[in-house]
Amino acid sequence: MISHLIPRVLSKLLIPLIMLFALYVQFHGDYGPGGGFQAGVIFGSGIILYALLFGLDEAKEVFRPRVLEILVALGVVLYGGVGVAAIFAGGNFLAYSALAHEPTHGQHLGILLVELGVGTTVAAVMATIFFQFAGRGRTDD
Amino acid sequence: MLDLVHLVLFTFLAVVAVAIIRLKDLFAAVMLMGIFSLLSASLFTVMDAVDVAFTEAAVGAGISTILMLATLALTDSEEHPEHNKFQAMPLIAVVLTGVTLVFATFDMPRYGDPDAPIHQYVAPYYIEHTEEEIGVPNMVTAILASYRGYDTWGETTVIFTACVGVMLLLGGHAIVDRFRRRKPPGREGEP
């Protein structure tokens, strides 16, 4: 990896802000534009930017592929879990109104958790796909 | 005024699109594709589709550009065309498709037309009931995550499946071996 001093220094400043912005988009999706998908993509591009500038091995140290794999599945499980929880609470699959005493509170909770599931999956998928493409042909895990 | 903004943005879109096709330097083409997405995002913003604009900016201008740059790092950043001969057949196919598409737009309702079929079906219900039923200020989020929760659930599964597919195709036998809980072949004998 060639040393690019200025991009590295700048990215060290920017990557935390990118990830913070992703979290803002994630949890502010109820009130403004945004949501799980956009937040996941922004978070994922933060990870990929890190990998581009500091090398694949360094990035895999920070964002371990095994953890990312678990997160990929965890997001889907969280989404489905909210749906199943709604069934146990007496509603239909993904009918969040049953999740709390007040229907709108249930909707708030359901939407928040579901968006979190989408965000987790998308961010982990973006990073995993990039790691797979960039590490193509290497024998290590 | 708004028409002027539309006109300028659409003109820029067309210019950038032609430039992308004509460029031989792929690095510049990737950058222009990012600009193309950013222009589309601006258009969506002007058309008041903020959530779509956000997605376009994050996916089109953000992660696609990064992935394309990563691809260029693996390959060559210069295009080497195999054949420069003029070919009539592709041109005819493209022109015919384009004419058909433009012809089809004559049947489309005008932009923002309240009588358009899309605004007659379920949209009025969502607009009237989101406030009391969901209580979320952003109606797009309410529709995506709650009213159309099944669709979003399907989309998440599609992304998950895509990831599994990429891992199986590119991860090679390392991943398959790991899930079969066996040692990769040939590793034992290695020094």
Cβ atoms of A76 and A121 closer than 8 Å = yes
pLDDT exceeds cutoff 60 at B190: no
In sequence order, the β-bridge partners of residue B78 are B25
The predicted pLDDT at position A141 comes to: 44
pLDDT exceeds cutoff 80 at B73: no
The predicted pLDDT at position B115 comes to: 83
The predicted pLDDT at position B112 comes to: 75
pLDDT exceeds cutoff 90 at B113: no
How many Å apart are CA A23 and CA B104, to the nearest integer? 42
Q: Domain spans of chain A?
A: 5-134
Q: Which residue has the higher pLDDT, A19 or B146?
A: A19
H or E segment and range at residue A41: helix A36-54
The predicted pLDDT at position A107 comes to: 87
The predicted pLDDT at position B39 comes to: 95
How many Å apart are CA A118 and CA A77, to the nearest integer? 10
* 3-state class (DSSP) for residue B25: strand
pLDDT band at B188 (very low <50, low <70, confident <90, very high): very low
Alpha helix stretches (DSSP H) within B75-187? 88-105, 123-133, 139-142, 149-171, 173-179
Which residues 66-125 of chain A have a CB within 8 Å of chain B? 69, 72-73, 75-76, 79-80, 83, 94, 96-97, 103-104, 107-108, 110-111, 114-115, 117-118, 121-122, 124-125
In sequence order, the β-bridge partners of residue A45 are none
Buried b (16+ CB within 10 A) or exposed e, B149-170: beebbebbeebbeebbebbeeb
Q: pLDDT exceeding 70 applies to what percent of chain B? A: 90
Burial class for A43, CB neighbours closer than 10 Å (0-12, 13-18, 19+): buried
Q: Which ipTM was obtained for this model? A: 0.88
Chain B residues within 8 A of A75 when measuring between CB atoms? 156, 160
Amino acid identity, residue B58?
Answer: A
pLDDT band at B184 (very low <50, low <70, confident <90, very high): low
| Range B81-93 average pLDDT | 82
Closest by Cα among B110, B29, B48, B98 to B37: B29
Give per-residue pLDDT as tens, B3-42: 899 999 999 999 999 999 888 888 999 999 999 999 999 9
How many Å apart are CA A11 and CA A6, to the nearest integer? 8
The predicted pLDDT at position B83 comes to: 67
Amino acid identity, residue A132?
Answer: Q
In sequence order, the 6+-apart residues with CB closer than 8 A to the CB of A81 are: none
How far A37 CA sits from the closest chain B CA (Å)? 8
Within 10 angstroms of residue B90's Cβ, the number of other Cβ atoms is 9
Low-confidence ranges of chain A (pLDDT < 70): 1-3, 137-141
Cβ atoms of A119 and A40 closer than 8 Å = yes
Q: pLDDT exceeding 90 applies to what percent of chain B? A: 35
| Range B152-174 average pLDDT | 87
The predicted pLDDT at position B36 comes to: 95
The predicted pLDDT at position B35 comes to: 95
How many Å apart are CA B134 and CA A103, to the nearest integer? 8
Dihedral sign computed on CA atoms, order B135, B141, B143, B145: negative
Q: Is A14 on the interface with B (CB under 8 A)?
A: no
* Among A17-21, B56-60, B99-103, B128-132, the least confident range: B128-132
CA angle B10-B13-B16, nearest 5°? 150
| Range B113-127 average pLDDT | 83
Amino acid identity, residue B167?
Answer: M
Cβ atoms of A44 and A52 closer than 8 Å = no
Residue B119 carries which DSSP code?
A: G
